[in-house]
Amino acid sequence: MRRPGGFVKEFALLLMAALCLKAQAPVQLGTAASFAVLAGSTVTNTGATVVNGNLGLSPGSSVTGFPPGVVINGSEYVAVPVAAQAQIDLTSAYNSAVGRTCPGTNVLPGDIGGTVVTPGVYCNSTSVGITGTVTLSGNSSSVFIFQIGSTLTTAGNSVVLLSGGVLASNVFWQVGTSATLGTNTTFAGTIMAQDSITVDTGAALNGRALARTGAVSLADNAMTIPSASITVVCSYPSGQVGVPYSSSLVATGGAAPYAYTIPAGSLPPGLTLNVSTGAITGTPTAAGSFSDTSRVVDSLGASSTSGCGITIVPAAAPGAPLSLTCASSSGLVGQLYISSMVASGGTAPYTYSISSGSLPPGLTLDPSTGAISGTPAASGSFSYTSGVVDSLGASSTGNCGPLMISAAGPATPAPPSLILVLLALALAAAYMERDWLVRLFGRS
């Protein structure tokens, strides 16, 4: 028969065990946390890369490939104090990750593809590869730190899968030399490399690529800094008829895995969405501005939408006169918008402007790429006249709009009933283990 107060004591033991088994603390990134890309020597890009967050370089001064790459919800900081401070904070974060204690039971094999990893600190004194899928299983408080002595390399089409609510913001990869993400890899977490980071064609990163001394090299990538709340970032905003297009919607926050849909509007003809990965690929067959609402739903039913658009210009013709195609024409208040006005013909590079009218509050134009991005702050109908000038001084204008911004409801949280069920299951599991805890701590 249970003695009076026995249950209270056992509950206290459970609470004590929970406190003693406190999770590993996340690595503090300081100002480097706002950078999706940070390098020491150079940043290079080829193709349709979207960087959601800041792009920085210090002490180097050469950033190439932007445009055609675009930076949204952030700025480029090249050889300026902001980037220098981010590098200082990256060094502190790198050293913090190196200094975490790695238990002898947590030594990683040479390839962790096909494995399930639970929270903790893991290490390999040489190199680590990922072939296929590695699953990081835990919850929203779980922290994963990987200490890799030399290189990190993923094979093509490999996946870092977050399971049980694990957040990309709590995953850290400390790499002693260089990291390479293979073609079409889907990766999660912050990479902190001593030397360089190469992100091959089509790879998507829900995290950060932070290189201390070397280069960050990009090619047709989707890069987004992690978010705690579920968010979906639009794909690259422009393409051309007859030229293969490859980009991705990228979800961050919430509880992976994710499911992607386009509930309103449409992709350009010839392009298709992979509902599991968010990849949008194909060869456009028609020119025009195509607006869509992109939506992501996580494994607990939470969802978020963004107003996206892809502008497709006609096939290039030698000697064609300069012309301008407007950005997409719809968005949602409070939801990320990205599209682009696109020039064709003339002689690149181009400079874009808005000569009259205005964009909706919260949206800005990048004059070097034509990208229009931001989060609309007010609903309404907004018309504007856009312009482009090529490198020889030729110009073209377009009467764009109306850009219709509609009111939107908040992101859908996970169903309360499901959260309660999961909490009840966790409490039941803990109570079922009470005898083990009593034996561990003793009973008076």
pLDDT in tens, 267-324: 999 999 999 999 999 999 999 999 999 999 998 899 999 999 999 999 877 788 898 8
Say if domain 231-406 classifies as CATH 2.60.40.10: yes
Main-chain dihedrals φ then ψ at residue 53, nearest 5 degrees: 130, 180
Does residue 250 register a pLDDT over 60? yes
If we measure between CA atoms, which residue out of 324, 179, 185, 181 comes closest to residue 248?
185
3-class secondary structure, 182: coil
pLDDT in tens, 92-130: 999 999 999 999 999 999 999 999 999 999 999 999 999
pLDDT in tens, 195-218: 999 999 999 999 999 999 999 999
- Hey, CA dihedral for 433, 434, 435, 437, is it positive or negative? positive
Higher per-residue confidence, 257 vs 65: 65
Position 259 scores a pLDDT of 95
For the chain, how many helices (H) and strands (E)?
4, 39
Across 75-79, 253-257, 361-365, the highest mean pLDDT is recorded for 75-79
This prediction's pTM: 0.80
3-class secondary structure, 278: coil
Q: pLDDT band for position 409 (50/70/90)?
A: low
If we measure between CA atoms, which residue out of 312, 344, 182 comes closest to residue 243?
312
Position 425 scores a pLDDT of 41
Q: Which residues pair with 310 in a beta bridge?
A: 290
Contact 131, 113 (CB under 8 A): yes
Domain ranges of the chain: 6-22+413-441, 30-224, 231-406
Does residue 2 register a pLDDT over 50? no
Residues 6 or more apart whose CB falls under 8 angstroms from that of 361 comprise 376, 377, 378
